[in-house]
Amino acid sequence: MRFEYARPESLRQALEILEQGDERVKVLAGGTDLLVFIQEGVISPRLVVDLGGIAELKSIEEKYERIRLGALVTHEEAAASPLIREKAGVLREACAEVGSPQIRSRGTIGGNLVTASPSGDVIPALVALGASLALTSLHGERAVSIEEFFTGVKKTVIRHDELLTFVSFPSAEPSARGFFKKLGQRKALAISKVSVAACLDLQQGAVRSCRIALGAVAPTVIRATKTEAYLQGKKLDRGTIAQAARIVSSESRAITDLRSEADYRNEMTGVLLERGLEEIGG
C-alpha cells in the first residue's frame, strides 16, 4: 500500500491540509488503529496526516471547574495524571484497562473516540462524565456532546475537514464517586464483551445524581437512563443495588456475535453494575 505522508507542525497547518482533502485523507494520532486498518486493507488512504508534532493537543488542564484534555493525550498519560486521578477517577480506571502497556503508551484519547468502536474502553467513561468534544476546522470550532458524536458502529458526525481537538467535562465534586468495569475474553489485553462506567454524586449516603454508560451492548455506547432514574435519591443498600442491576440488564441491547451471546452480555451488565455500586456503597 502506497500513500503520501504529511507531518504538520501546527494545528492550522493540519487544518489547511484537511481543508484541501477528501475522505481518503486519514489522520494519524497514535496509529494503533489506523495502521492496522491500512495493513489489513480495510482502508486505503492517499494521504496520511500525522498529528504527532502538534504540542497544543497534548495538554491536560483544569479551568473554570472543567477538565480539558488534548486529543493527543495518550491513555498512559491520562491514567498517570494526578488531576485525572483526583477529578475523573472513572476515566483513569478506563485508560488503565486499554490494551497492553505498548498500546496505552501510543493510543490516544482522541483516536479512541474517532475510531468509534462500541467496545472502546474510554468512551463509556467519557459518556458517564458528560463530556463535550471540540471539533475544529478552518471555519471555526463547534462543540458536540459525546452522546451526539456517535451515529453508529465506527461512525461519527466529524467531517473530513475537521479535527477532534479537545475533550472536556466537569471537574468532579468531593462527593462524587465513580467506577469502570469491563468483561473480556481474558483478564488482560482483551476487547470488551461488556463494559459499565458510572459517575454518582452522593449526599448523606443517598444518590443525588448519576450517569451510567454501557459499552459493547449496542451500536454505540448508551446511557442506562431508567437505571439512573431508579437510583435517584436512594441509598445504596443491598436491595437497591440488586434492583438497579435487574433494571440495567433490561436496558442493555446486546447482540450475539463471535465473542459472546446476547443474553450473557445483557446479564453481565447487571453483574458489573452491581459490583461497582457495592464498592461505592460499601
Q: Is the pLDDT of residue 184 over 80?
A: no
In this structure, are 67 and 160 located in the same domain? yes
In this structure, are 85 and 106 located in the same domain? yes
Range of the domain at 197: 177-281
Residue 77 inside a domain? The answer is: yes
Band (pLDDT 50/70/90 cuts) for residue 244 is very high
User: What pLDDT score was predicted for residue 282?
Assistant: 65
In this structure, are 157 and 97 located in the same domain? yes
In this structure, are 43 and 91 located in the same domain? no
Last residue of one domain, picked from the residues 169, 192, 210: 169
In this structure, are 104 and 18 located in the same domain? no
255: nearest Cα among 136, 132, 153: 153
In this structure, are 256 and 204 located in the same domain? yes
CA angle (157, 162, 22) in 5-degree steps: 95
Last residue of one domain, picked from the residues 142, 169, 196: 169
In this structure, are 89 and 10 located in the same domain? no
In this structure, are 159 and 204 located in the same domain? no
User: What pLDDT score was predicted for residue 16?
Assistant: 97
Residue with cell 458489573: 272
Q: Is the pLDDT of residue 186 over 80?
A: no
Residue 121 inside a domain? The answer is: yes
pLDDT in tens, 151-170: 999 999 999 999 999 999 99
In sequence order, the 6+-apart residues with CB closer than 8 A to the CB of 195 are 94, 119, 121, 124, 180, 181, 182, 183, 214, 215, 216, 272
In this structure, are 8 and 96 located in the same domain? no
For residues 256 and 280, the model is more confident at: 280
Residue 145 inside a domain? The answer is: yes
Chain-centroid distance, C-alpha 34: 17
Number of domains in the chain: 3
pTM value surpassing 0.85? yes
Residue 9 inside a domain? The answer is: yes
In this structure, are 38 and 83 located in the same domain? no
CA distance 218 to 18: 31
Average pLDDT over every residue of 170-192:
80
Residue 183 inside a domain? The answer is: yes
Last residue of one domain, picked from the residues 137, 169, 201: 169
Residue 154 inside a domain? The answer is: yes
CA angle (65, 277, 109) in 5-degree steps: 45
Q: Is the pLDDT of residue 1 over 80?
A: no
User: What pLDDT score was predicted for residue 36?
Assistant: 81
Residue 239 inside a domain? The answer is: yes
CATH of the domain at 216: 3.30.390.50
Average pLDDT over every residue of 88-104:
91
In this structure, are 69 and 165 located in the same domain? yes
CATH of the domain at 110: 3.30.465.10
pLDDT in tens, 173-182: 989 999 999 9
Residue 58 inside a domain? The answer is: no
CATH of the domain at 30: 3.30.43.10
In this structure, are 96 and 123 located in the same domain? yes
